[in-house]
């Protein structure tokens, strides 16, 4: 009997995360997977994410495939100057970045894998701000993505520049 292949994507994905807070949220999500199945909403205990709750989001995946914000932390509202709870992604003004956000969420649903990235927050007249985002699939049946756990960290450009220089030093030394 051959050994089952080792699934390396969870650790490969983790290595792409730059910020410790992202790694905390991802590690918690990963620990909630049972036998490789996607965790469900009930597996996520908000008390375990307490320090991150201001910038946590929860999306419902609707029958038409679009995502709707079920919950957005107060830190999201404070940065966006808008309450987005209850809105579909298509109803949130991301300016020219609308397709970027739609595709990112669609990818999580269809690939059943986490996604992450960094983007400037130019659509909100916040030119010196970047969002480090993380989207983690959730599933009621362990297979079909019906919710997405989101985590956004907003950082000033100077902080992003310092992180970039630190990463270059680390990568250069390795």
Coil vs helix vs strand at 79: helix
Token readout for 134 is 């993380």
Structural domains of the chain in order of their starting residue, each with its CATH number: 13-173 (3.30.450.20)
Please report which confidence band the pLDDT of residue 165 belongs to, taking 50, 70 and 90 as the band edges: low
* C-alpha–C-alpha distance, residues 162 and 35, integer Å: 39
Q: Judge whether residue 5 has pLDDT over 60.
A: no
Token readout for 54 is 């201001």
Whole-model pTM: value is 0.87
Please report which confidence band the pLDDT of residue 10 belongs to, taking 50, 70 and 90 as the band edges: confident
- Which positions ≥6 away from 106 have C-beta within 8 Å? 65
Taking the CA atoms of 55, 60, 61 and 66 in sequence, report the sign of the dihedral they define: negative
What is the per-residue pLDDT for 168?
60
Of residues 121 and 29, the one with the higher pLDDT is 29
Which residue, among 122, 142, 138, 141, has the nearest Cα to 130 in the 3D structure? Answer: 122
- Region 127-148: what's the mean pLDDT? 93
What is the per-residue pLDDT for 2?
47
Please report which confidence band the pLDDT of residue 4 belongs to, taking 50, 70 and 90 as the band edges: very low
Please report which confidence band the pLDDT of residue 142 belongs to, taking 50, 70 and 90 as the band edges: confident
Which residue, among 152, 118, 98, 114, has the nearest Cα to 38 in the 3D structure? Answer: 114
Q: Judge whether residue 31 has pLDDT over 80.
A: yes
Token readout for 173 is 């030394």
- Region 23-37: what's the mean pLDDT? 93
């Amino acid at each position: 009997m051959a050994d089952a292949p080792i699934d390396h994507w969870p650790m490969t994905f983790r290595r792409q995360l730059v910020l410790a807070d992202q790694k905390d949220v991802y590690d918690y999500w990963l620990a909630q997977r049972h036998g490789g199945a996607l965790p469900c909403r009930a597996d996520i205990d908000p008390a375990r994410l307490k320090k991150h709750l201001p910038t946590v989001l929860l999306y419902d995946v609707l029958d038409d495939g679009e995502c709707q914000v079920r919950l957005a932390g107060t830190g999201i509202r404070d940065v966006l100057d808008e309450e987005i709870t209850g809105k579909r992604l298509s109803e949130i003004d991301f300016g020219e970045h609308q397709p970027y956000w739609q595709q990112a969420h669609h990818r999580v649903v269809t690939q059943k894998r986490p996604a992450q990235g960094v983007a400037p927050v130019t659509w909100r007249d916040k030119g010196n701000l970047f969002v480090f985002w993380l989207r983690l699939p959730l599933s009621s049946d362990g297979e079909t993505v019906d919710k997405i756990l989101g985590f956004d960290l907003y950082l000033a450009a100077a902080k992003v520049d310092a992180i970039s220089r630190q990463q270059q030093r680390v990568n250069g030394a390795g």
